[in-house]
Chains A and B, each alone.
Chain A
Amino acid sequence: AQSVTQLDSHVSVSEGTPVLLRCNYSSSYSPSLFWYVQHPNKGLQLLLKYTSAATLVKGINGFEAEFKKSETSFHLTKPSAHMSDAAEYFCVVSDRAGTYKYIFGTGTRLKVLA
């Protein structure tokens, strides 16, 4: 069975400082991994996805994530936080190749301090 664990339920950073949201996954075969963001009263938006073509994945709004098979991790980073980054972030693994059943982590709420 596949699963994801988001290691922090809440992260607070100051505006302009780096962001690190941690995610570990468990998968019996090569996974598909995603990061989604959910702003209050908004739908989930895809930030980036791991396609197996490159281990360092660049997404929207300056976010990126690195797939590390040896550590079973897919941490999300951003060099400089902006106030608009405050939201809930979900790490997601797909259930199996060819289907679209997503398995979500429990989420990390990012707070950006002025």
Chain B
Amino acid sequence: ETGVTQSPTHLIKTRGQQVTLRCSSQSGHNTVSWYQQALGQGPQFIFQYYREEENGRGNFPPRFSGLQFPNYSSELNVNALELDDSALYLCASSYPGQGAHGELFFGEGSRLTVL
């Protein structure tokens, strides 16, 4: 069984630029969530995609956007990058049907540095 994979693992951007992060979900999982983990903090929920539709969003501005594709892979796009966007971005996949106790399976993350 293939786990959650993310790319790139590290990248450096400058303020104002745009970035796209990619995620391949675990086999059989059709729900993808994205989290932002700032240094020394716990991950914070950005949004979730289910069947190519946004299915919940955290307290992040619209310049954070996403896509989910028919093969359930996903992208996170961030426009107009700010210094505070520097963080580890985590993708997690899950399979509905686990009820209220669903487990998320996380990738190793993409570390974004904004200069």
Residues of A at under 8 Å CB distance from B?
Answer: 32, 34, 36, 41-46, 49-52, 90, 94-95, 97-107
Docked-complex contact B90 and A44, CB < 8 angstroms? yes
Partner of B42, one of A52, A98, A107: A107
Residues of B within 8 A of A (CB): 3-4, 31, 33, 35, 40-45, 48, 55-56, 58, 90, 92, 94, 99-104, 106-109
Q: How many A-B residue pairs have CB under 8 A?
A: 69
> What are the residues of chain B within 8 A of A45 when measuring CB–CB?
106
CB of A101 within 8 A of CB of B58, answer yes
**Cβ–Cβ < 8 Å partners of B101 in chain A:** 32, 49-52, 94
Which residues in B have their C-beta under 8 angstroms from that of A94?
A: 100-102
**16 CB-based A-B contacts, threshold 8 Å:** A32-B101, A36-B106, A43-B4, A43-B90, A43-B109, A44-B43, A44-B90, A49-B103, A52-B101, A94-B100, A94-B102, A98-B100, A101-B48, A102-B104, A104-B42, A107-B41
CA distance A102 to B103 in the complex (A): 10
Interface-central residue, A44, A90, A103, A107, by most chain B CB under 10 Å:
A44
Q: A43-B109, A104-B44, A107-B40 are in contact. List 11 more A-B contacts (CB 8 A).
A: A32-B100, A34-B103, A43-B4, A46-B104, A49-B101, A95-B45, A98-B99, A100-B102, A102-B33, A104-B42, A107-B41
